[in-house]
Amino acid sequence: MLTIGELASYAGVTVRAVRHYHAKGLLPEPERDHSGYRRYDAAAVVELIKIRTLAEAGVPLARVRDLLRAGEEEFAAAIADIDRRLRAEIRERQRHRERIARLAAGEHLVLPAEVVEYLDRLRALGVDERIVRAERDGWIPLAARSPERVPEWMARKREQLADPRLVDFHLTLSQALDRADDDARLVELADRLADYLTRLADEQGADHVEDTGIEPPLAALMDALAFATVPPARRLIELLKQRGWTGWTRLERVDPSG
Q: Is the pLDDT of residue 2 over 80?
A: yes
Every domain of the chain and the residues it spans = 1-69, 71-104, 107-253
Measured CA to CA, the distance from residue 32 to residue 12 in angstroms comes to: 22
What local confidence, expressed as pLDDT, does residue 20 receive? 92
- The answer to whether the pTM exceeds 0.85 is no
Length of the chain: 258
What local confidence, expressed as pLDDT, does residue 48 receive? 92
What local confidence, expressed as pLDDT, does residue 230 receive? 78
Q: Is the pLDDT of residue 105 over 60?
A: no
At 106, the pLDDT band (50, 70, 90 cuts) reads low
Measured CA to CA, the distance from residue 44 to residue 55 in angstroms comes to: 16
Q: Which residues of 46-66 are buried (b: 16+ CB within 10 A; e: fewer)?
A: ebbebbbebbeeebeeeebbe
Measured CA to CA, the distance from residue 118 to residue 135 in angstroms comes to: 10
Average pLDDT over residues 201-219: 71
Helix (H, G, I), strand (E, B) or coil at 145: helix
pLDDT over 70, % of the chain: 92
Measured CA to CA, the distance from residue 243 to residue 254 in angstroms comes to: 8
- pLDDT tens-digit series, residues 220-244: 888 788 788 778 788 888 888 898 8
CATH class of 1-69: mainly alpha
Measured CA to CA, the distance from residue 224 to residue 249 in angstroms comes to: 10
Average pLDDT over residues 150-156: 89
Asked whether the CA dihedral 99, 105, 106, 108 is positive or negative, the reply is: negative
